[in-house]
Structure 1
């Protein structure tokens, strides 16, 4: 990708292409060029029942209502719409972590090999035990949490019969007539 003169990672490039095309469906309603604050509205198809949503974008603070801009450090479609309206280059709002030259620097140094667990120094910190109620359930058939009522109780419940000799009082595992158990 570097030899093909790409600047950003494949993920960032695809994300920016998608958000750039989505930004064409947005309209800047209010703006203040001095503080670079914008109110961006999504243009809604008149046949749709949804209401038009308005979002606030603050380019100087790198802030946007939904929080996506702050989380992934890539401009979303609303930020790109605000940048287009103000004639800003939205590339300045892309985190440098998505640039290929920065990604390549990660691999400049050699990684140390991980030694076998037998050679690790003994752990001296506190012992932490999980709370039994928060542990995941074990493998097997899931346990029912349904509250049973009178409707669930069978009338005239029959006792279990042995599947080998068809007599009541024992199961196949304890059957006296089963030659495999003798």
Structure 2
């Protein structure tokens, strides 16, 4: 990567390129240039409808959750950057840079010696297969007791009242 004069590690740049290709399916509907925020519609290739996402570039936030999670811009953020005239590569975290990658492995690694050199431990590892037993097939029955918040009509009324209070 250094000899090829790359700025980003391969794994990050390949993911960025895949998301960049996917960004053409997104259409910016509403936007605010000052806040660099946008509402975006994703067009489905298989006819299953569309989805809406909210992107706030200044806050490094997208409602899909990918932008803040791995710090590589999602396809929605890339399309928003294209719309606002911002370089989407600036949203890739510096942790993915070739320089950071090089720093990670520049220190000397010590060999791991055999078990006979390990310090003794004061605990015992026990394999208990019942702890990790899998549940059977099918939907699991909930033991939770439902209350009024679980009823859709009450929840919808509460959300409506909360919106009215904010406005």
Same fold (TM over 0.5): yes
Deviations 1:29-69 (A, max 9, x none): 11122322211111346xx5422211011212212112122
Structure 1: gaps (5+ residues)? 138-144, 147-182
**Matched residue SS, 1:134:** coil
Distance 1:21 1:13 in 2: 12
TM-score normalised over the length of structure 1: 0.65
Q: Which residue of 2 aligns with 1:37?
A: 37
Distance 2:24 2:54 in 1: 17
* Kept after mapping to 1: 8 A contact 2:43/2:49: no
Distance 2:41 2:127 in 1: 47
Q: 1:41 to 1:123 in 2, by over 3 A?
A: same
Q: Which residue of 1 aligns with 2:92?
A: 94
Distance 1:132 1:20 in 2: 45
**Matched residue SS, 2:50:** coil
1:128-139 equivalences under 5 Å are 129=126, 131-135=128-132
For residue 70 of structure 1, the aligned residue among 57, 64, 68 is 68
TM-score normalised over the length of structure 2: 0.71
Number of aligned residue pairs: give it. 136
For residue 121 of structure 1, the aligned residue among 119, 122, 126 is 119
Distance 1:108 1:130 in 2: 38
Q: 1:3 to 1:120 in 2, by over 3 A?
A: same
For residue 104 of structure 1, the aligned residue among 102, 105, 117 is 102
For residue 78 of structure 2, the aligned residue among 77, 80, 84 is 80
Q: CA RMSD in A?
A: 2.4
The alignment status of 1:23 with 2:20, answered yes or no, reads no
Deviations 1:128-162 (A, max 9, x none): 6565423368xxxxxxx79xxxxxxxxxxxxxxxx
**Matched residue SS, 2:78:** helix
**Matched residue SS, 2:99:** helix
Greater Rg by CA: 1
